[in-house]
Amino acid sequence: MPAMLSKCRTIYHIPAKFIQSATKSSTLPPARAFEVAFAGRSNAGKSSTINRVCSQKNLARTSKTPGRTQLINFFALPDGCSLVDLPGYGYAKVPEKVKLQWQAFIKDYLTKRSTLRGLILVMDVRHPLTDFDRGFLYWAEQRKLPVHVLLNKADKLKRGQAASTFLQVRKAMQHSASDVTVQLFSAQSGQGLDKLWEHLEGWLGCNDEADEQ
């Protein structure tokens, strides 16, 4: 592993902080530093993944606080970059009109946010590529936003089954207009965390900064 990656990673061991929620484009924080967004169907393990990435048990619980589930939540990393938690609107019991408004907001954020560098799409390895996932992939393709797919809960499958799902999903992504990468992951055990960090660090520009030091 190159020295610059481990140097970088120590930055992120300092706790990330919840900074702000947004309900519509006009309440988004100013686009200043790079961001990576996390999306995932309800129960795929998006909150557990954000907590694992930031080595904090309850960080992403913020997003599950009643009243905040419909919001885009921003978590600041110590260097000013942000991790952005996108709502999983699919399962909430709200009127169709409200759902459509969220979708428009998320789509707007994904397709227009100038500082957004990539999307982490968390899937349950046992149920990959749902309609929800395909919706996000489609939006990412609109601006050729890179996507890194986490096949989470890999600990729930035998190694051979997990490997076979990995190959299937990677094949399905071959012709995407976006640069899509795929990996097995377990938010529970930490399997695959190093690989995930390599992507995050690449997107957030940390490697470049480390090069200059």
Question: Interface with ligand GDP includes 47 (CB under 6 A)?
Answer: yes
Helices (H), ranges, the chain: 3-12, 46-53, 96-112, 131-142, 159-172, 193-203, 206-212
Pairing outcome for strands 116-124 and 82-85: unpaired
Question: Interface with ligand GDP includes 45 (CB under 6 A)?
Answer: yes
Number of residues that bind ligand GDP (CB under 6 A): 15
Q: Which is nearer to ligand GDP, 90 or 146 (CB)?
A: 90
Residues 6+ apart with CB under 8 A from 157: 125, 126, 165
Residues 6+ apart with CB under 8 A from 149: 121, 123, 128, 169, 173, 180, 181, 182, 183
Q: Which is nearer to ligand GDP, 8 or 137 (CB)?
A: 137
- What is the closest distance, in whole angstroms, from the C-beta atom of residue 15 to ligand GDP in the complex? 18
User: Which of 20, 42, 55, 111 touches ligand GDP (CB under 6 A)?
Assistant: 42
Token digits of residue 29:
């924080």
The window from 9-17, 94-102, 112-120, 153-161 that contacts ligand GDP (CB under 6 A) reads 153-161
User: Which of 21, 34, 37, 48 touches ligand GDP (CB under 6 A)?
Assistant: 48
Question: Interface with ligand GDP includes 44 (CB under 6 A)?
Answer: yes
Token digits of residue 31:
């686009």
Which residues make up the interface to ligand GDP (CB under 6 A)?
40, 42-48, 152-153, 155-156, 186-188
